[in-house]
Structure 1
């Protein structure tokens, strides 16, 4: 049982907490979720993309807790491939317009049910996957229809810590937040007078 309570945990009722506790796989969109959703190009036409470092640690926390992380994006980007490789994410599905089908493929490969999947997306191409998953999460800067169908909408915007917020709330609901934060808390507690 987790003794740490995430500051936003009060927004999660028993139903939402139960959905999150069942999660074995969380899949994320990239643009608008892991990034701010804007596309940047250099004068020579090279694509640039920003990722929030807080989100990266949240993804690692999920994986350390035994939760599989997948990334499903409609675009193809070598920058996304590099970032996911740096984080150790093995399930990267790029150029996937039908994200629900991509999720169904993961369900079949992992022998899990849709109820054991979390999906985080922000735009209309994410909606079928979000509705399919047992736990759907969106962001405040997402499309209104996606937010309306999500089980939870983060306080943080996409690309600004929303992924970390979702990861920590899932870990809290599963009673695993303490374990993933323990290495950091041990050092902090050891240095107190």
Structure 2
């Protein structure tokens, strides 16, 4: 069964400007669901957008997978009055409905997990022609006329005795080709429901919503950590290897300062069978030369979505994120800081990273922070 994931994105946003591209826990909002879709059972993931910056981002960022494709949608499908179904059908018709299952994914639902997508897809094999994600809420509902809708106020049930209501959370919808052609809608005639956690009911329509969802996401990532031996250390560069500053010559060339003791710490750590990797958003020849000098083979330059790449690396290696230690200093490291087995940050890192890292090192970046992190990992691994 050929299944296609479909993420419609529009450039405009009324409540929160540039919402889809804005950094949620240090990564663009739309990459939360895109990353999960990449690791799902979907055969292909289409990002359908009128934003050429997003198209350029995807073309540069996800070269390590053939699963993702970014396409420019028509002006008509991106207008304020166009429905999501309009965009779905526009794309489906452009490929002559060359698929068996269609999966609509909403970028404003960052709580979506790979498992939610796979479960919705699996329902199409169980005599359902479509499926959607829901949340079971135990709220008591009323209409505007003061009439209760889902309980008797004279016999108020206890929460544990109340079945509640299933509410559509707008995260994932799957539908067969035949049902989409017939109904021209995201849902068919025989709909299955797939429950997601209550947190996923939060919508992102205001700055307050953004703050709440971001905090919930960070706490979710932290809860998934486990205590395991550290097999891999992943390091950012600027603000970790260096003090975060750049010196320019009169000819425009720039230089960076590296602490030689950090290099020795990494050499010693590798003797304890810990693999060292570099992951930086900067694509710098100078950095590449320094890492070559340190004989580090796993160097990833110009990475903007660090979390999805790191997750892909762990899957390929057959390890868990909990086997990884990560050292970063700024917001683009934040998701990894919240997700890996042990996260460490230099003493002069940004405040938000220091708030969420497992360990705030006593040394500053470019002044022994990496050497200190190496010593911590070696001591930690002794218990295994």
TM-score calculated relative to the size of structure 1: 0.78
Secondary structure (helix, strand or coil) at the match of 1:102 reads: helix
Which residue in 2 is equivalent to 1:156?
A: 363
Which residue in 1 is equivalent to 2:230?
A: 23
Task: Specify which structure has the higher proportion of helix.
Answer: 1
Which residue in 1 is equivalent to 2:249?
A: 42
Distance 2:365 2:237 in 1: 9
Q: How many pairs align?
A: 158
Task: Specify which structure has the higher proportion of strand.
Answer: 2
Which residue in 2 is equivalent to 1:107?
A: 314
1:134-181, Cα deviation, whole Å (9 max, x unpaired) = 1111111111110011000100001100000000111122239xxxxx
The Cα shift of 1:89 comes to 0.7
- Summarize the alignment of residues 18-167 of structure 1 with structure 2, pairs less than 5 Å apart: 19=227, 22-167=229-374
1:15-66, Cα deviation, whole Å (9 max, x unpaired) = xxx94x6100010000000001001111111121111001001111111111
Contact 1:122 1:138 in 2 (8 A): yes
Distance 1:67 1:36 in 2: 25
Contact 1:93 1:102 in 2 (8 A): no
1:70-105, Cα deviation, whole Å (9 max, x unpaired) = 010010111111111111111101100111122112
Where structure 2 has 5 or more consecutive residues not aligned to the other structure, the ranges are 1-225
- What is the Cα-based RMSD across aligned positions, in Å? 1.5
Contact 1:72 1:102 in 2 (8 A): no
Q: Which has the higher contact order (CA 8 A, sep 6+)?
A: 1
Secondary structure (helix, strand or coil) at the match of 2:270 reads: helix
Which 4+ runs in 1 deviate beyond 6 A?
none
The Cα shift of 1:109 comes to 2.4
Distance 2:317 2:303 in 1: 19
Distance 2:376 2:268 in 1: 11
Secondary structure (helix, strand or coil) at the match of 2:278 reads: strand
Distance 1:68 1:153 in 2: 22
Larger Rg: 2
* 1:172 maps onto 2:345 in alignment: no
Distance 2:366 2:355 in 1: 20
Where structure 1 has 5 or more consecutive residues not aligned to the other structure, the ranges are 1-17, 177-193
The Cα shift of 1:126 comes to 0.6
Distance 1:109 1:45 in 2: 40
Secondary structure (helix, strand or coil) at the match of 1:61 reads: helix
1:106-133, Cα deviation, whole Å (9 max, x unpaired) = 2022110011000000000010111121
